[in-house]
Structure 1
Amino acid sequence: MKCIAIDDEPLALELLRTYISEVPELNLLHTFDDALEGAAYLKLHEIDLLFIDINMPDISGLDLVAAIENKPMVIFTTAHKKYAHIGFELEAIDYLLKPISPERFQKAVTRAQEQFQLRKRITEPEWEPFMVRSEYKMIRIDPAQIEYIESMEDYIKIFLIDTNRPVLTLMSLKTILEKLPESGFSRVHRSFIVGEKQIHSIVNKKISLKSGKEIPVSDTYMSFIEKWKNH
């Protein structure tokens, strides 16, 4: 889950950074000790989860969240119990009272993970399988299982999750793109298509997949990197 944290207290913000770094499912994009800077960031970027303090000098966390059009999941943090009912009226995932313990933080994140998975199941389209010919037989390919595809001149190799042996078929990358869902797969090189859900990170024009495999991004497809960062 992509997340940011907003808190005007440096020590509280550092504690959140530490807790978040210990949860593999969380990807901390940015932290802000200024609420207005955080609000400006939220207008330009989509995130999954927002950690935000309620008591801040320029604008309260409650008012900031109420003003967000496309609200992410929210976990409020505060030193005051009196705001709890207002936080839940804004459909917050949880309300953490400072000082926040590791156990209480993990409980809140678990709630967010459950909600995140539920939202994914509701919003994700079902992908239709398709058939390819390989080694004199027809093989059914489930797009959800595709990690990446590599071009080998007139052939392509379709690498599937948890499968050591790729599917080799006589086809071009252009043709296989026509069979794949409109979203979820991108050509990043003259020789590679990647399943976007399988990307772990992108550094220096190189994609690291969750499996550890690295895929190059060519200059022609550099726009994909910005697209992925803002997704």
Structure 2
Amino acid sequence: MKNALVRCVAVDDEPLALDVISAYVAKIPALTLVQTFDDAIAASEFLRTTAIDILFVDINMPDITGIDLVRSLEKKPLVIFTTAYKNFAYEGFQLEAIDYLLKPIAFDLFLKAVNKALDFMEYKNQAKANLEESLYVSSEYRLIKINLRDIEYIESLEDYIKIHVTNAKPILTLLSMKKVLEKLPSTQFKRIHRSFIVPLAKVTAIQSRKAQLTSGKELPISDSYISFIQDWNQKVS
């Protein structure tokens, strides 16, 4: 995907900000800037009829905000918010933005955000044909890539889930257990309790209705997910 031509649009009511983004895009061979807009309403009309890959959009604009612009799009491109204000970060997080860049934007941070977008596009394309090897979730206002092999287990915390990973702090994300299961390969990850999902490969033993993990952690297996024991026995037999 990084060798393909990725179509971009920039929206900002400040001409200088558009000049900066245009100059930065020109430095990245994989990108092409299809159009720039200093009017969010005109940008919205264009985006409803034109498919693009990445949208660079300011948040605090007259008429409609960048947040409202993104929300209004039926088919959303990957979004990188650009703004001078920090207080909109949570809204960007809810919309699963790839990144959130504060002005003035340094080129190295711009490039880092673009590379995350390109990686995510590659991930989505590969997932259509191959077994997924990673999971992307929004955490701390950023899109985080998690290698599936590093997941120890997933814990439910009401509206959030906590993804426990090897040799790193847990990752907290606003996602339901049902939604995260839809993102994971069903042959590799199983729910064993209303509060826990485990990778089959990390379960070393089952004793007293508890799954023992390679990390030494023990998690309960509830009556509703008792079929997990059979699934695990088939895998190890």
How would you bin the TM-score normalised by the shorter chain?
0.5 to 0.7
Which one-letter code corresponds to 1:89 in the other structure?
Q
Task: Please report how far the alpha carbon of residue 122 of structure 1 lies from its aligned counterpart in structure 2 after TM superposition.
Answer: 2.7
CA shift in 2, pair 1:89/1:18, >3 Å: same
Q: Which of 66, 72, 80 lines up with 1:67 in the alignment?
A: 72
Tell me what 1:136 maps to. none
Tell me what 2:109 maps to. 104
Q: Which of 118, 122, 126 lines up with 1:121 in the alignment?
A: 126
Task: Please report how far the alpha carbon of residue 86 of structure 1 lies from its aligned counterpart in structure 2 after TM superposition.
Answer: 1.0
* Counterpart-to-counterpart distance in 1, 2:124 and 2:22: 25
Tell me what 2:49 maps to. 44
Tell me what 1:14 maps to. 19
Task: Please report how far the alpha carbon of residue 124 of structure 1 lies from its aligned counterpart in structure 2 after TM superposition.
Answer: 6.2
Task: Please report how far the alpha carbon of residue 119 of structure 1 lies from its aligned counterpart in structure 2 after TM superposition.
Answer: 1.5
Tell me what 1:208 maps to. none
* Secondary structure of 1:82's aligned partner: coil
* Counterpart-to-counterpart distance in 2, 1:45 and 1:124: 26
Tell me what 2:83 maps to. 78
Which one-letter code corresponds to 1:53 in the other structure?
D
* Counterpart-to-counterpart distance in 2, 1:71 and 1:5: 14
Q: Which of 4, 10, 15 lines up with 2:9 in the alignment?
A: 4
Which one-letter code corresponds to 2:50 in the other structure?
H
CA shift in 2, pair 1:124/1:44, >3 Å: farther
Tell me what 2:177 maps to. none
Which one-letter code corresponds to 1:52 in the other structure?
V
* Secondary structure of 2:125's aligned partner: helix
* Counterpart-to-counterpart distance in 2, 1:55 and 1:122: 35
Q: Deviations over 1:63-120 (max 9, x none)?
A: 1101111111000000001111110110000000000001110110111010011122
Q: How many residues align?
A: 125
Say whether 1:23 aligns with 2:37: no
Q: Please list every run of 5 or more consecutive structure 1 residues that lacks an aligned counterpart in the other structure.
A: 126-231
| Identical amino acids, percent of aligned pairs | 50
* Counterpart-to-counterpart distance in 1, 2:104 and 2:14: 12
Which one-letter code corresponds to 1:14 in the other structure?
D
Q: Please list every run of 5 or more consecutive structure 2 residues that lacks an aligned counterpart in the other structure.
A: 1-5, 131-237
